[in-house]
Amino acid sequence: MSLGTPQLRPGDLVELEVSGLAFGGRGIARLDDFVIFVAGAVPGDAVRARVTKYKRRYAEAKVEEILGPSPRRRPARCSSFGSCGGCVWQNLDYGAQLEYKAAQVRESLEHLGGLKDFTLAPIVGMAEPWHYRNRADFSVGHSPQGAVIGFRPAGRWDSVLPLSSCHLVHPEIEAVRATVESWLRESCLPGWDPRTHTGYVRHLLVRTAQLGKEVLVSLVTAPHPGGLAADPTPLPGASDLVARLRAAHPHLVGILHAVNRAPAELSFGLESTVLWGRPYLLEKVAGLTLKVSVDAFFQTNTLMAHVLYGLVAEAVERASPRAPVVWDLYSGVGSIALAVASRAQMVVAIEENPRAVADAREDARLNGVKNVFFLEGDVAKVLRELAAGRSSLPQQATCPNVIIVDPPRAGLGNKALARLAEIGAPSLVYVSCNPTTMAPNVAYLADLGYRLGHVTPVDMFPHTPHVEAVAVLELKPTAPSA
């Protein structure tokens, strides 16, 4: 321990001036140049905080008292704020949130990626940053009143925080939650105890589309004690639940019952029975109608999905305005591939999940899109086969002008990055949900000959630290040989 390091122990109270925000949303303070990450603080706060963890290079603390509030601090709308953990920036002015998210993208690229000479466009935020989530995955637990449907408290896996409202989800989602909770209590159906693996009802998944004009519900339970292990077990009182939901929620399009037989906490990818209606939503985005199955990935913020897809389509058009050949990697249900298809000669969409590929093909049929070619498989392996000429493509799609990549939060692996360089498309459009993994990916591509041109941050998740970004890279011309 250096001479300048304060002697701190968990449980100590310290007074701090909070100067910034760290990745993940905690405030940054310093005590004799020693960094302390402070949960519940915003920049400009003077706080009294209790140390929760001490390490050689930093400590963690939690606000006990606000001694002097920051001018950018705002009253939290939600009574569960601080306990739920779903929206850690609800107490920070929205304009400040946008500033810090844009700074997070820049700092990631500059400090983690060692990149410079790129243009950071202004971040695109929401005009009304509330009730934007089109999906909620609720846990079901116990209370003295009976089953309780809510979210896990921050840092807990074995309890459920009761809800009266959530200011991030669409209001219809909260209304469905309340209806199902009331029905469970009247039916005396117990919630689930993950510690003992006892109980019955485990999760409630509610999804909306078209800004609440369609609603899909899936109730996830353990197997019913009276059912056969090999059969989808019946839900007691299912007809009553269907009648209750249909009477209270006219925008409902489907009600499902899914069974989770495993100890793991899962609400998707399970065997399910349609109790009423259909097992999918019809979403409208970027001029498309998309079939979204109950388990399918789709952006949780429909309004900002319009923005995101528009930015990708504009980047494709700027990169190659004359009907380019586009490859879309990690294409999911094909929403980006279909959104850019009208501007392209041909789009090749590559996705590993067979369900997503099936939905994407159906979406292409629904929208009359005939110039998207779907390939199912691991992206790195498919790229290797394409680079080696071992995978068949339509002749006009073999040489992409633009490649779009929309990887998971972990980013692209080195094998996939190397395959991209082998293919050598003139332009890459990188859609990122995690700037800390995008930065090293872009740096790796820079070493392979690509130059980062401009980056546009997009706020898909207001009141959380998460930020998306659309980055455009161009292949640097090769110097002529002597």
For 126-149, the pLDDT digits (tens) are 999 999 999 999 999 988 889 999
Over residues 29-50, the mean pLDDT reads 94
State both tokens at 131.
């009730």
Q: Are residues 224 and 153 in the same domain?
A: yes
**Euclidean distance between CA atoms 208 and 471, whole angstroms:** 29
CA 410 to chain CA centroid, nearest Å: 12
Q: How many domains does the chain have?
A: 3
Is residue 268 very low, low, confident or very high in pLDDT (cuts 50, 70, 90)? confident
Percent of the chain at pLDDT above 90? 73
CATH classification of the domain holding 179: 2.40.50.1070
Lowest mean pLDDT among 29-43, 226-240, 436-450: 226-240
Determine the pLDDT at residue 430: 97
180, part of any domain? yes
Lowest mean pLDDT among 120-124, 412-416, 452-456, 465-469: 412-416
**Euclidean distance between CA atoms 410 and 4, whole angstroms:** 36
433, part of any domain? yes
Between these two residues, 257 and 163, which has the higher pLDDT value? Answer: 257
Residue 479 CB partners (closer than 8 Å, separation 6+): none
Q: Are residues 426 and 468 in the same domain?
A: yes
Determine the pLDDT at residue 442: 97
CB contact at 8 A, 24 and 465 = yes
**What does DSSP say about strands 58-68 and 450-458: parallel, antiparallel, or unpaired?**
unpaired
Is residue 216 very low, low, confident or very high in pLDDT (cuts 50, 70, 90)? very high
Reply yes or no on whether the pLDDT at 85 is more than 90: no
319, part of any domain? yes
CB contact at 8 A, 288 and 339 = yes
Is residue 385 very low, low, confident or very high in pLDDT (cuts 50, 70, 90)? confident
Is residue 213 very low, low, confident or very high in pLDDT (cuts 50, 70, 90)? very high
Q: ∠ CA 330-336-340 to the nearest 5 degrees?
A: 130
Say what angle helices 171-187 and 238-248 make with each other, to 10 degrees. Answer: 150
Q: Are residues 186 and 203 in the same domain?
A: yes
CATH classification of the domain holding 29: 2.40.50.140
Q: Are residues 443 and 397 in the same domain?
A: yes
Determine the pLDDT at residue 5: 65
CB contact at 8 A, 394 and 346 = yes
Reply yes or no on whether the pLDDT at 56 is more than 90: no
325-329: strand order across its sheet? 119-120, 450-458, 468-475, 427-432, 402-405, 325-329, 346-351, 372-376
Is residue 265 very low, low, confident or very high in pLDDT (cuts 50, 70, 90)? confident
Which among 285, 320, 347 is the end of a domain? 285
**What does DSSP say about strands 146-151 and 135-143: parallel, antiparallel, or unpaired?**
antiparallel
Reply yes or no on whether the pLDDT at 110 is more than 90: yes
Q: ∠ CA 215-221-225 to the nearest 5 degrees?
A: 145
294, part of any domain? no
Q: Are residues 307 and 437 in the same domain?
A: yes
Q: Are residues 327 and 276 in the same domain?
A: no
Q: Are residues 150 and 250 in the same domain?
A: yes
Determine the pLDDT at residue 227: 52
Q: Are residues 50 and 167 in the same domain?
A: no
Over residues 289-303, the mean pLDDT reads 91
470, part of any domain? yes
Which among 255, 285, 315 is the end of a domain? 285
Determine the pLDDT at residue 189: 95
Reply yes or no on whether the pLDDT at 231 is more than 70: no
Between the alpha carbon of residue 84 and those of residues 136, 155, 418, the distances in Å are 14, 9, 41
Residue 175 CB partners (closer than 8 Å, separation 6+): 248, 249
Q: Are residues 221 and 196 in the same domain?
A: yes
Q: Are residues 123 and 142 in the same domain?
A: no
pLDDT tens profile 143-199? 888 999 999 887 788 889 888 889 999 999 999 999 999 999 999 999 999 999 999
Over residues 10-32, the mean pLDDT reads 92
Q: Are residues 103 and 164 in the same domain?
A: no
Q: Are residues 344 and 464 in the same domain?
A: yes
Helix or strand run (H / E) with residue 309: helix 302-319
Residue 213, judged by CB atoms within 10 A of its CB (0-12, 13-18, 19+), counts as middle
Residue 464 per-residue DSSP state: S
What's the chain's average pLDDT?
A: 91
223, part of any domain? yes
**Euclidean distance between CA atoms 344 and 161, whole angstroms:** 48
**Euclidean distance between CA atoms 150 and 204, whole angstroms:** 9
352, part of any domain? yes
237, part of any domain? yes
**Euclidean distance between CA atoms 15 and 116, whole angstroms:** 37
Which among 239, 255, 285 is the end of a domain? 285
Q: What residues are annotated to the active site?
A: 433
Residue 336 identity (one-letter amino acid) = I
Is residue 481 very low, low, confident or very high in pLDDT (cuts 50, 70, 90)? very low
Between the alpha carbon of residue 95 and those of residues 20, 98, 109, the distances in Å are 15, 5, 22
The dihedrals phi and psi of 58, each to the nearest 5 degrees, come to -160, 170
Reply yes or no on whether the pLDDT at 229 is more than 90: no
CA 94 to chain CA centroid, nearest Å: 19
Most confident of 81-95, 117-131, 379-393: 117-131
**Euclidean distance between CA atoms 18 and 35, whole angstroms:** 10
Residue numbers of the domain that contains 103:
97-127+301-475
Is residue 228 very low, low, confident or very high in pLDDT (cuts 50, 70, 90)? very low
Determine the pLDDT at residue 1: 43
CATH classification of the domain holding 444: 3.40.50.150
State both tokens at 421.
């360089």
Work out whether the CA dihedral 231, 232, 238, 242 comes out positive or negative. negative
